[in-house]
Amino acid sequence: EEVKKITDAINAKSRSVVRLGKQFFYEQLELDLSTAYSYGSEIMVANLELRDAQEGIKSFMEKRKPLWSHTFEKNDK
């Protein structure tokens, strides 16, 4: 039952944002600390440019559930 709670929580998130985070996690394992921090900063900026990241922020501010696109599309500016 605990595993189901965890998987449900993950499945409720944007797949593109989760994928980007997992990709960064595994890539940074081989980097020295300074390089990992620098690379992490780049990934965070890339994440914030995603449509789903903007939807997550907007839905939080509007106190509603997000409507994920699950794509790597950048937000229209």
Is 75 inside a domain boundary? Answer: no
The rounded distance, in Å, linking the Cα atoms of 19 and 27 is: 12
Minimal CA–CA distance to 20: which of 12, 31, 8, 28? 28
Is 70 inside a domain boundary? Answer: no
Is 53 inside a domain boundary? Answer: yes
The rounded distance, in Å, linking the Cα atoms of 23 and 21 is: 5
Is 7 inside a domain boundary? Answer: yes
pLDDT attached to residue 72 = 87
Number of domain units in the chain: 1
Is 72 inside a domain boundary? Answer: no
Give yes or no for residue 77 having a pLDDT over 70. no
Minimal CA–CA distance to 14: which of 64, 50, 63? 50
Domain that residue 10 falls in? 2-61
Over the stretch 15-70, which tens digit does the pLDDT of each residue have?
Answer: 999 999 999 999 999 999 999 999 999 999 999 999 999 999 999 999 999 999 99
